[in-house]
Amino acid sequence: MSTVAAVLPRELAPGVHWLGDCFVFPPHPGEELQHAYTSVYLVEGAERSLVVDTGNPRDWPAVERHLDERLAAGAPPVEWIFPTHVEVAHAGNTGRLLAKFPDARLVADLHDHHLVNPDLTDRFVHVRVGDRVDLGGRRFEFVDAVFRDLASTLWGYDTGAGVLFCGDGLGFGHYHAAEHCGRLTEEIPDLPIQELTGQFLEAALYWTRLKSAAPHIARLEQLIAIDLDVRLIAPAHGSPITDPGATVPRILEGLETLAAERRLR
């Protein structure tokens, strides 16, 4: 079965490319086949490139092929690898990437990465919210993970194209049979976002069953509209968003509604 790997890499903005593959949910009888992305992103500066998230280990052939295509097309060498957090879908190919790019370093909140790759700690660089790396002509900044599934989760922001990389935040699936794979959120106007966000509330954002998401929604709105010049949002498990002003409210409405329905009482 063909997945999004067949149509990637895709340029989302100058110097920002979408890589990776889909995870296929086993369908219930009579239901449409549903996918969720396990996206990897390549941010290309004038001098060096940075990889955001690493994909599932099962996705390595696709991730490696996509990276090779970009490098063959003239992308600068990969010098930074940024897993937003240590879960397998985001850090599962860390060792392979560091082996493929021997001059690259992992950059992240390092509270737990040493437990997964203890033999590579000499190539780890610890960062906090507000730190940044220079890619040449653009900076990559590490920002607060508003919707956080692990204590060490960080988000990222590319100053060159105004892209917010939000890991598990703002995740939702898509329907394979509808040829949604590889399309932007705004290219799928009938996507039932409210329904599809529920899977991620149960998995990555399970805490929304226990507490209100309203303060986090307010913080995200401030981050997008005031703190940063966010022109595009690149989640790990949802379609990239090219019109945050129009699309983010739809996602947040679904998140808030489903959180209220599933919250423990």
Residues 85-103: tens digit of each pLDDT: 999 999 999 999 999 999 9
Contacts of 243 (CB under 8 A, 6+ apart): 186
Q: For residue 181, what pLDDT is reported?
A: 78
Write out the residue range of the structural domain in which residue 26 sits.
Answer: 4-262
Give me the DSSP letters along 146-191.
Answer: SS-SSTT-EEEEETTTTEEE-TTTT---EETTTT-TT--GGG-TT-
Report d(CA 41, CA 161) in Å as an integer. 13
Percent of the chain with pLDDT over 90: 58
Say how many domains are in the chain. Answer: 1
3-class state of residue 5 by DSSP: helix
Length of the chain: 265
More confident residue, 22 or 167: 167
Q: What is the pLDDT of residues 25-77, one digit of tens each?
A: 666 666 666 777 899 999 999 999 999 999 999 999 999 999 999 999 999 99
Three-state DSSP class for 129? coil
Sequential DSSP letters for 26-78: PPPTTPPPEEEEEEEEEEE-SS-EEEE----GGGHHHHHHHHHHHHHTTPPPE
Q: What is the largest CA-CA distance in the chain?
A: 55
Single pTM value for the model: 0.92
- In contact, 55 and 40? CB cutoff 8 Å: yes
- CATH number for the domain that contains residue 214: 3.60.15.10
pLDDT band at 203 (very low <50, low <70, confident <90, very high): low
Rg of the Cα atoms in the chain? 17
Q: Give CA torsion, residues 194, 198, 200, 202, to 10 deg.
A: 160
Cα gap 33→241, rounded to integer Å: 22
What's the average model confidence in pLDDT over 175-191?
Answer: 75
Mean pLDDT, all residues of the chain: 87
Query: How confident is residue 23, by pLDDT bands cut at 50, 70 and 90?
Result: confident
pLDDT, tens digit, 9 for 90 and up, residues 223-255: 999 999 999 999 998 889 999 998 888 777 777
Confidence label for 200 from pLDDT (cuts 50, 70 and 90): low
Q: How far is CA 88 from CA 38, 59, 92, 106, in A?
A: 10, 11, 4, 15
Q: What is the mean pLDDT of residues 130-149?
A: 95
Running DSSP on this structure, what letter comes out for residue 252?
H
Q: Give the residue-averaged pLDDT of 10-23.
A: 94
